[in-house]
Amino acid sequence: MTTPRPTTNASLITNVRLADGRRVEVSIVDGRIAALGAALSREPGVPVEDGGDALLLPGFVEGHTHLDKTNWGLRWYRNEVGPKLTDRIENERRWRAESGHDAGAQSLALARAFLAAGTTRVRTHVDIDTDAGLRHLDGVLATRDTLRDVLDLQIVAFPQSGLLGRPGTDALLDRALGAGADVLGALDPALIDGDPVKSLDLTFALAERHRKPIDIHLHEPGEIGAFTLGLLLDRVAAHGMQGLVVVSHAFCLGALPERERDALLARLAELRVALLTTAPPSVPVPPLTACRAHGVTLFGGNDGIRDTWTPYGSPDMLERAMLIAMRYGLRRDDDLALAFDCVSGVAARACGFEAYGLQPGARADLVLVDADTLAHALVARPVRKLVVAHGRVVARDGALLAR
Amino acid sequence: MTTPRPTTNASLITNVRLADGRRVEVSIVDGRIAALGAALSREPGVPVEDGGDALLLPGFVEGHTHLDKTNWGLRWYRNEVGPKLTDRIENERRWRAESGHDAGAQSLALARAFLAAGTTRVRTHVDIDTDAGLRHLDGVLATRDTLRDVLDLQIVAFPQSGLLGRPGTDALLDRALGAGADVLGALDPALIDGDPVKSLDLTFALAERHRKPIDIHLHEPGEIGAFTLGLLLDRVAAHGMQGLVVVSHAFCLGALPERERDALLARLAELRVALLTTAPPSVPVPPLTACRAHGVTLFGGNDGIRDTWTPYGSPDMLERAMLIAMRYGLRRDDDLALAFDCVSGVAARACGFEAYGLQPGARADLVLVDADTLAHALVARPVRKLVVAHGRVVARDGALLAR
């Protein structure tokens, strides 16, 4: 008779609760959820982690940030910037030239903070411009490589200074997509580039050449934003890019007459174009209820975190979910769950992060918090008791473990 | 020769920084700031607290909350309430009758959490209605008494179910003002009471009889809110109550044509009527910039915290300041300081809390946090390293000391 050999890379988490109240155990094998249910069978020798009656959540998803820009962990950056978008762009380029900002070290510091707070998938926009070239991309690629066993980093090659204004930007984006960027970014084709048709045509041509998805930052308000969005949707259809385009911000959808807005929402749904919101409280946002009614995917993110643009933001995606819920005036527990979806399942689908969730077969990215319910977790944002990434414990009580 | 006797009840805090960057020490005598400056003289025997290079802030002010309603520290309350104001009022009255909610214990729990987070002055609205009578007031009065040496609790007698709809409410308010309530509350004279003139006349008569200030919750939107606000301002002038009235919420001022809005702001300034905002991101708010331009006082508060109305809110007033700053789209450091004013000096003046601030003679209510700057403190909301109330240390590292 031989003793059964314990499964390699297996572990068991006991004594946790799902958001629906069920008490479960989670069996993890080779970095994936093998089973989830009450009283799973225990193989001898498999390490057991007592969840201590914590609430079990899937690892969180950051749908839109700028890891390369952050001053996270550095001395406070005193913001004395003017109010216009171009003020902020110029200020940042000037400051970067002067400060010797290190996108590699900074992106790593913030990515680690995301991980400690339970986020295991991040879409980050990385500045590509004619001053910096691919320097920021190189830094973020290094961060991706460093954390490859615990964090999925999706990189958007983002022309922060515009695509048309500085000759050579398109060639840099082309190189960035060849060098490891996953997604092509874009920015205000009318109000920054001044030529929405030319800007969008160039963007779609680049994306098509590399067979990469698009994520466009569309801050353009009201009617001009609606016009640009219409041009964009024409090109999604023409290039067959259904399901491969995200429109970030889309402030215009929060400030249009209902009929015009609904016509755009219907087209967004038909072309499976998703919307990303940071849920800013001081500007219009895409309407959550109308998006859901039309079947338009709306997910969430921080945007920049403590950089020259903004003092705000946090690597805690429970806080972002709370801010989203507050922005949309949600109070009921079932409505707060929709806000959590924006930084978990819905965000994973919108960005194309695979094997996501709490079902068997999904990658074992798990978060344990001391909270009675999901709504409680959102508003209390408790310290993360345990974070599991790719099946292994990476953080306890809010702090990353030494590797 | 005699050794000088140390001053009774004296202490010294060294090694702290002001928001303007100056490094100072603070000498405290008999619960007040005796001196504040670089390298103060040290009397022998006076205990010295090393501030560890922390940022020194004045104790915070909560301008509008409902200590009596909160479920703070209890099991999570599952919110399944309908969307209307009356849904929430009815739901709460029903729930209170069923749950045996203890306003005394709950207000004490939340008040202690405020203190631990650095708030030493609180204006709380306490429900007075024909079901509960003065029961909630009695509970909050007990809390005020328990904490009288460390926390200023200003109590507003608040007709949460309306003044006119339930006969006998005015008599209860009359008794509440006689029993220790500091301020008379009021609620939507048109949309809840249905008779704005009668409701306001009754409110002002009651306030005049007791010589108490007024704090009215005005949720009425747009034009109806403007109409009610106009009626209110007429009565402030007629009753000579300049400087003694606060209008909480005042959503209407965020949604009027500029000319009409500015006419109301000019009257508010002239009559020294202050505005309180919780800075809700999903409804219009009084415009900060226009209020400042007209000389109208605007200050901040949470409203309810984790009760049957709302899952949100926090006893951390740095978080409220951050939410106010975000709501108004503030990004510059000097603008974030305005948001902090809303939960400190401006709130103290608006509520009539005396001896407030960091100048000699002010009561020694102090908060120390590890932050580079004031803006940093707002967005990072660090654990309170030290909280001093009435000259004595009441909390360290976020936890209240045993009394």
pLDDT, tens only, A231-255:
999 999 999 999 999 999 999 999 9
Contact state of A310 with B331 under an 8 Å Cβ cutoff: yes
CA A297 to chain centre: 14
Residue that the structure tokens 């020490």 belong to: B25
- In chain A, the residue whose alpha carbon lies closest to the alpha carbon of B328 is A282
Residue pairs spanning A and B at CB distance below 8 A: 89
Q: What are phi and psi of B203, to 5 degrees?
A: -60, -50
Compare CB distances from B81 to A281, A310, A331 and report the shortest one's residue.
A331
CB contact A20 to B (< 8 Å):
no
- Band (pLDDT 50/70/90 cuts) for residue A84 is confident
Contact state of B331 with A81 under an 8 Å Cβ cutoff: yes
Query: Position B9: which residue type?
Result: N
Q: Which has more confidence, A83 or B317? A: B317
Return the DSSP state at B310: -
Cα–Cα distance between B173 and B203 in angstroms, integer?
10
- Band (pLDDT 50/70/90 cuts) for residue A94 is confident
Compare CB distances from B310 to A311, A331, A373 and report the shortest one's residue.
A331
Q: Which has more confidence, A97 or B15? A: B15
Return the DSSP state at B283: S
B67-88 mean pLDDT: 93
Contact list, A251 vs chain B (CB under 8 Å): none
Q: What are A134-177's pLDDT values in tens digits?
A: 999 999 999 999 999 999 999 999 999 999 999 999 999 999 99
Of the candidates B182, B107, B108, B121, which has an alpha carbon nearest to the alpha carbon of residue B152? B121
Contact state of A333 with B311 under an 8 Å Cβ cutoff: yes
- Band (pLDDT 50/70/90 cuts) for residue A1 is very low
Of the candidates A60, A81, A70, which has an alpha carbon nearest to the alpha carbon of residue A125? A70
Query: Is residue A297 over pLDDT 90?
Result: yes
| DSSP-derived pairing of the beta strands A48-58 and A60-65 | unpaired
In terms of residues, how long is chain B?
Answer: 403
CA angle A233, A238, A240 (to 5 degrees): 95
CB contact B376 to A (< 8 Å):
yes
CB contact B329 to A (< 8 Å):
yes
CA A128 to chain centre: 19
pLDDT at B82: 87
CATH number corresponding to A10-58+358-400: 2.30.40.10
Range(s) within chain B of domains with CATH label 3.20.20.140: 60-351
* C-beta atoms surrounding B172 within 10 Å: 19
Half-sphere exposure of B364 (CA within 13 A, CB side): 24
Cα–Cα distance between A160 and B152 in angstroms, integer?
50
Query: Position B349: which residue type?
Result: R
Half-sphere exposure of A274 (CA within 13 A, CB side): 23
| DSSP-derived pairing of the beta strands B366-369 and B386-389 | antiparallel
Query: Is residue B202 over pLDDT 90?
Result: yes
3 state DSSP class of B285: coil
- Alpha-carbon distance A322 to nearest alpha carbon in chain B (angstroms): 8
Q: What are B29-64's pLDDT values in tens digits?
A: 999 999 999 988 888 999 999 999 999 999 999 999
CATH number corresponding to A60-351: 3.20.20.140
B340-348 mean pLDDT: 98
Query: Position A195: which residue type?
Result: D
Handedness of CA A254, A256, A259, A265 (dihedral sign): negative
Q: Please spell the DSSP secondary structure of B114-127, one letter per residue.
A: HHHTTEEEEEEEEE
Cα–Cα distance between B214 and B205 in angstroms, integer?
11
* C-beta atoms surrounding A134 within 10 Å: 20
- In chain A, the residue whose alpha carbon lies closest to the alpha carbon of B78 is A333
- Band (pLDDT 50/70/90 cuts) for residue B8 is low
In terms of residues, how long is chain A?
Answer: 403
B341-358 mean pLDDT: 98
Cα–Cα distance between A287 and A256 in angstroms, integer?
11
Contact A388, A51 (CB under 8 A): no
Radius of gyration of chain A (CA): 21
Which tokens belong to A377? 């977790």
CA A163 to chain centre: 23
Mutate to test the interface with B, among A302, A332, A340, A383 (most CBs of B within 10 A): A332
Q: What are A251-269's pLDDT values in tens digits?
A: 999 999 999 999 999 999 9
Contact B55, B370 (CB under 8 A): yes
Handedness of CA B317, B319, B323, B324 (dihedral sign): positive
Question: Can you identify the CATH homologous superfamily of domain B10-59+357-400?
Answer: Urease, subunit C, domain 1 (2.30.40.10)
Cα–Cα distance between A310 and A77 in angstroms, integer?
10
| DSSP-derived pairing of the beta strands B48-58 and B366-369 | antiparallel
pLDDT at A96: 86
Of the candidates A318, A308, A352, which has an alpha carbon nearest to the alpha carbon of residue A211? A352
Contact list, A329 vs chain B (CB under 8 Å): 280-283
| DSSP-derived pairing of the beta strands B152-158 and B119-127 | parallel
Q: What are B129-177's pLDDT values in tens digits?
A: 999 899 999 999 999 999 999 999 999 999 999 999 999 999 999 999 9
Cα–Cα distance between B173 and B327 in angstroms, integer?
34
CB contact A339 to B (< 8 Å):
no
Range(s) within chain B of domains with CATH label 2.30.40.10: 10-59+357-400
Compare CB distances from A311 to B80, B309, B379 and report the shortest one's residue.
B379
Query: Is residue A2 over pLDDT 80?
Result: no
Query: Is residue B229 over pLDDT 50?
Result: yes
- Band (pLDDT 50/70/90 cuts) for residue B97 is confident
CA angle B183, B185, B188 (to 5 degrees): 160
| DSSP-derived pairing of the beta strands A23-29 and B48-58 | unpaired
Compare CB distances from A80 to B75, B279, B332 and report the shortest one's residue.
B332
Compare CB distances from B379 to A280, A312, A327 and report the shortest one's residue.
A312
Of the candidates B7, B43, B8, which has an alpha carbon nearest to the alpha carbon of residue B25? B43
Backbone region of residue B137 per phi and psi (left: phi > 0; alpha: psi in -120 to 50; beta: other values): alpha
Could you give the C-alpha distances from B196 to B169, B190, B193, B221, B231, in angstroms and in order?
Answer: 16, 4, 7, 14, 8
Strand order in the sheet with B245-249: B60-65, B119-127, B152-158, B183-187, B214-218, B245-249, B274-277, B298-300
| DSSP-derived pairing of the beta strands A32-37 and A23-29 | antiparallel
Lowest-confidence range among A190-194, A387-391, B77-81, B300-304? B77-81
ipTM of the complex: 0.96
Contact state of A373 with B78 under an 8 Å Cβ cutoff: yes
B210-234 mean pLDDT: 98
Backbone region of residue A303 per phi and psi (left: phi > 0; alpha: psi in -120 to 50; beta: other values): left
Of the candidates A210, A203, A127, A125, which has an alpha carbon nearest to the alpha carbon of residue A164? A203
Range(s) within chain A of domains with CATH label 2.30.40.10: 10-58+358-400
pLDDT at B403: 67
Contact state of B281 with A279 under an 8 Å Cβ cutoff: yes
Contact state of A379 with B322 under an 8 Å Cβ cutoff: no
Helix runs in B193-270, H state only:
196-210, 222-238, 258-270
pLDDT at A403: 67
- Alpha-carbon distance A207 to nearest alpha carbon in chain B (angstroms): 34
Contact A194, A164 (CB under 8 A): yes
Burial of A303 per CB tally in 10 Å (0-12, 13-18, 19+): buried
